[in-house]
């Protein structure tokens, strides 16, 4: 899924700072891992809620894509107790 990513330059490499998901901004609290594959740069990042994402940057076109989402929000929604 193509996404819009705000980046900062770090040692000449564009590092994700935040991105938009479902119209909502998602701040990047930490870059946990980064690696390269032919024509792409990948970043595994964590947001403030503890969720983790893999963002892929196409070096040729400059486009960003959401490659993977995993992890759980720090405060998952509570469910109503089941009726007895």
For the entire predicted model, the pTM comes to 0.81
Is 9 a residue whose pLDDT tops 90? yes
- pLDDT value, residue 72: 64
pLDDT digits (tens, 9 = 90+) for 37-82: 999 999 999 999 899 999 999 999 999 999 999 876 555 444 444 4
Instruction: Tell me the residue range of the domain where 44 lies.
Output: 2-70
Residue 83 placed within a domain:
no
Residue 9 placed within a domain:
yes
Residue 84 placed within a domain:
no
Classify each residue of 21-43 as buried b or exposed e, where b means 16 or more C-beta atoms within 10 Å of its C-beta: beeeebebeeeeebeeeeeebbb
Residue 82 placed within a domain:
no
CB–CB of 40/58 below 8 Å?
Answer: yes
- pLDDT value, residue 70: 86
Total of domains in the chain: 1
Residue 25 placed within a domain:
yes
The residue-averaged pLDDT of 26-44 equals 96
């Amino acid at each position: 899924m193509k996404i819009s990513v705000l980046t900062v330059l770090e040692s000449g490499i564009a590092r994700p700072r935040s991105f938009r998901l479902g119209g909502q901004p998602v701040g990047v609290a930490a870059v946990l891992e980064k690696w390269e594959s032919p024509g792409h740069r990948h970043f595994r990042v964590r947001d403030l809620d503890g969720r983790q994402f893999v963002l892929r940057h196409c070096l040729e076109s400059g486009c960003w894509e959401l490659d993977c989402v995993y992890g759980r929000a720090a405060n998952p929604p509570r469910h109503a107790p089941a009726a007895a």
